[in-house]
Amino acid sequence: MNNFLIKLPLIIVVILLTQSGYAQINSSRNWAIVIHGGAGAAPTSMTPEKIEVYEKHLIEAVSIGKKMLNEGYKSIDVVQKVVNYLEDCPLFNAGKGAVKNIDGIHELDAAIMDGSNLKAGAVAGVRDIKNPINAARLVMDSTVHVLLIGEGASAFAKSKNLEIVDNKYFSTDEREKEYTKIRKGSENGNPGGTVGCVALDIYGNLSAATSTGGMSGKKWGRVGDVPIIGAGTYANNETAAISGTGHGELWIRRVVAFDICALMSYKSYSLEEAANEVIFKKISPMGGSGGGVIGVDKNGNIVMVFNTGLMHRAWAKSSGEVGVGVLKGDERVVKK
């Protein structure tokens, strides 16, 4: 009897963990993570030196996730932390380095989804939240809502003591030059540069997070696919976690992220088959600037599928493999 009483607290902890969905660790401790930093046409300015800089930051970002997953962190925490890094890196169109709208203002969108319970949170059209993905996480965790926009989202972020910055914080010299060209009519808006992360943790749970500054030169409060759950961001433990990048209007109309998971669920497609079906047979015929997706399924299989000249991407697996790529067909394993 005394031994039972001594063991009782441990039994209670195990029961609570089981109910929370995090007690069943994969026997192989299998995990996987994939990130992207946007897709688009390969610019002539993409020199070997510039590619090297992108690869350096992509590997650093995915290494953050690799370390966390190895240490047993939940996938939802991992994808948020990795996207934080990408939002703070001025190379990408998210957070610092986000593009401007037609009025010269930065408006950002972000979303996060937990595949273990299908909970999701998103913000859109925010102008002063340093890390929009953190606001999206709080929408998911501390409200009954999924999507908050504009001033309401900012007021919510302030109430939760998130870091608030002046809109000028998001700008870089490159974005200023891009905006000037768009205003002069010498350059079209480029939707590239969105960042995202998907991960499978050792508990078998999938999560996805995506963050963006949207389309350069966008008008009238335009919102793209990123904060639309099922379009640019989706996760379900039964199938896969997906994050998209590209021409958001196409992603919304095709509900890309959910469609990939639906093909897996309803037609028993593999993740690779579903991603290829949606990107090449559904998105490509629609025209536009295209884009791509990253994904990981419940078994740790990954995809990086895109119909453009480049997609900044990196991945890591519990096997020890770490890889990176920028241009189409150039992905390489940097560590086994």
- Domains parsed from the chain with CATH numbers: 31-329 (3.60.20.30)
Confidence at residue 227, expressed as pLDDT on a 0 to 100 scale: 98
- In 3D, which of 38, 35, 100 has the Cα closest to residue 289? 38
39-56 pLDDT per residue, tens = 988 877 789 999 999 999
- Examine the pLDDT at 75 and tell me if it is beyond 50: yes
Q: Is the pLDDT score of 301 beyond 80? A: yes
pLDDT-derived band at 15 (thresholds 50, 70, 90) equals very low
Tokens of 141: 């965790």
To the nearest whole number, what is the mean pLDDT of the chain? 91
Per the residue annotation, which of 180, 194, 233, 239 is the catalytic one?
194
CB contact set of 36 (below 8 Å; sequence gap of 6+): 194, 195, 196, 197, 243, 245, 292, 294, 304, 311, 312, 313
pLDDT grade, residue 185 (50/70/90)?
A: confident
Distance CA 134, CA 33 (A): 19
pLDDT at 41: 85
pLDDT (mean) for 11-17 = 42
Task: Return the closest-CA partner of residue 313 out of 303, 301, 300.
Answer: 303
Average pLDDT over residues 54-75: 98
Question: Using CA atoms, how far apart are residues 256 and 184, in angstroms rounded to an integer?
Answer: 33
Question: Does the annotation count 194 as an active-site position?
Answer: yes
